[in-house]
Amino acid sequence: MFKLSERAQDFVNRTQDFIHNEIEPIELKFWDDVHQMNPNGDWTTWVWPEQLEVLKAKARAAGLWNLFLPDSELGAGLSVQEYAHIAELTGRSLLAPIVFNCNAPDTGNMELLWRYGTEQQKNDWLMPLLNGKIRSVFCMTEPDVASSDATNMQATAVIEGNEIVLNGRKWWSSGLGDPNAKLIIFMAHTPDTSKDRHHQHSMVLVPLDTPGVKIQRMLSVFGEYDAPHGHGEVIFDQVRVPIENFIGGAGQGFEIAQGRLGPGRIHHCMRCIGAAEKSLELMIDRGMSRKAFGKELLKLGGNLERVAEARVAIDQARLLTLYAAFKMDTYGTLAALTEISAIKLVAPNVLEKVVDMAIQIHGGAGLSRDTMLSAFFIHARSLRLADGPDEVHKGMIARLELAKRGYSRSKPSQ
């Protein structure tokens, strides 16, 4: 079922070689440079090391560019399941997704524009994103409501003549601090009493320099600002953009969001699996190279059992994610709702568990920046909230299971 075509396998092999030869040897030094160049939360001074553009140029010249996009002219033309194998490889590195122009939130935003954007929107925004000239932001989560229920959204996008007027406050807007960020996709409530609650939200294209867009601050995650990318809080105060800036039309926000989130969740989960594999390797190497009480660390206590538990958990998560990708490719996103929710629940939890084991074996070094483990842990814990908390995905899985047995919201129990 998951056998790759010769063409897809070639992409996987070349991606693996590029990461091994070009990225892994310099990665820890690269992030050291990033932290030295961006020492605090003042996003107005944030910059990327020049080496990033060098690596991006090499990746593009090697044909390893926009690999996520299932369009053979604009991207690699791979299926979701084929690209999943590449996403796993890039997940072993914090830098690789950026180098290949396959990083969130840009991948989701680019696919959204590719699927639903007008020709003008594609010319203005999709092409610069695909060329790696700019970066983008997705604004959905809000600080004043329980954002686990997206219908709670208080930000508004109101039509006034030939304009859309935007008001509201968003936070955890990833990429807001990036010096190359030029575009925001803003999701908001568009009141319309003639429509049901799932057709009263819209996505709007907002240039970052539009009057009324005010970045308030960058938010730290466990004390880290994720510079120079950043996760920010931003206010929209009487922001006006042309009515043509709706994506797919007013009231289509939730429908478009499902198209954006489906493939994106596969990408996130396979990157988690790649990070878990890397963490397991680091754990084994550390545990077999250090001794305590006359034995290698891995041979003490229950550490060998933990290695086995990690191996099984990673493989289970990978198979479930590839199955979700297969169902999306074969039957469409709606047919894979259970699997998409399941992997969003499973993959970050597996990464969190495995990286925690690896940190324990590394001792104090596991908490430092001397390895990627602390960053992997932050990533895993964050993803258990991003795109919906664990509890929302469990609720979705349960509702779908009950519906299979004929129990739905519209059919009360007897």
SS3 assignment for 158-179: EEECCEEEEEEEEEEEECCCCC
- The larger pLDDT score, comparing residue 148 to residue 134, is at 134
What are the tokens at 389?
């908390």
Q: How confident is the model at residue 2 (pLDDT cuts 50, 70, 90)?
A: confident
Query: Percent of the chain, pLDDT > 70?
Result: 98
| Predicted structure pTM score | 0.94
Burial class (CB in 10 A: 0-12, 13-18, 19+), 236: buried
Q: Is the pLDDT at 386 greater than 60, yes or no?
A: yes
Query: Percent of the chain, pLDDT > 90?
Result: 90
Distance CA 100, CA 66 (A): 6
CA distances for 52 relative to 67, 181, 274, 393, angstroms: 18, 16, 21, 36
- Taking the CA atoms of residue 183, residue 187, residue 192 and residue 196 in that order, the dihedral angle to the nearest 10 degrees is 140
Q: In the prediction, which pLDDT does 260 show?
A: 67
Q: Please give the average per-residue pLDDT across 6-17, as a whole number.
A: 98
Q: How confident is the model at residue 197 (pLDDT cuts 50, 70, 90)?
A: confident
What is the average pLDDT value for the chain, to the nearest integer? 95
94-110: burial string, b at 16+ Cβ within 10 Å, e else = bbbbbbbbbbbbbbbbb
Q: In the prediction, which pLDDT does 410 show?
A: 56
pLDDT in tens, 89-100: 999 999 999 999
What are the tokens at 336?
């894979």
- The larger pLDDT score, comparing residue 9 to residue 411, is at 9
Q: Is the pLDDT at 412 greater than 60, yes or no?
A: no
Q: In the prediction, which pLDDT does 409 show?
A: 65
- Omega cis (within 30) before 207: no
Q: Is the pLDDT at 75 greater than 90, yes or no?
A: yes
pLDDT in tens, 241-280: 999 999 999 999 988 887 666 788 999 999 999 999 999 9
Q: Is the pLDDT at 206 greater than 60, yes or no?
A: yes
Distance CA 281, CA 295 (A): 19
Distance CA 297, CA 9 (A): 37
Question: Helix, strand or coil for residue 92?
Answer: coil
Residue 320 burial (CB count, 10 A): 19
Segment holding 337, helix H or strand E: helix 337-362
Residue 56: how many CA atoms within 13 Å on its side-chain side? 18
CA distances for 40 relative to 108, 182, 208, angstroms: 28, 22, 22
Q: How confident is the model at residue 321 (pLDDT cuts 50, 70, 90)?
A: very high
pLDDT in tens, 106-125: 999 999 999 999 999 999 99
Q: In the prediction, which pLDDT does 198 show?
A: 80
Distance CA 245, CA 207 (A): 10
Distance CA 325, CA 8 (A): 15
Residue written as token pair 């001074």: 45
Q: Is the pLDDT at 376 greater than 70, yes or no?
A: yes
pLDDT in tens, 36-74: 999 999 999 999 999 999 999 999 999 999 999 999 999
For strand 135-139 and strand 181-189, is the pairing parallel, antiparallel, or unpaired? Answer: parallel
Residue 241: how many CA atoms within 13 Å on its side-chain side? 24
Q: How confident is the model at residue 413 (pLDDT cuts 50, 70, 90)?
A: very low
Contact (Cβ atoms closer than 8 angstroms) between residue 58 and residue 52: no
Q: How confident is the model at residue 195 (pLDDT cuts 50, 70, 90)?
A: confident
Q: In the prediction, which pLDDT does 411 show?
A: 53
Q: At what angle do helices 80-91 and 303-331 cross, to 10 degrees?
A: 150
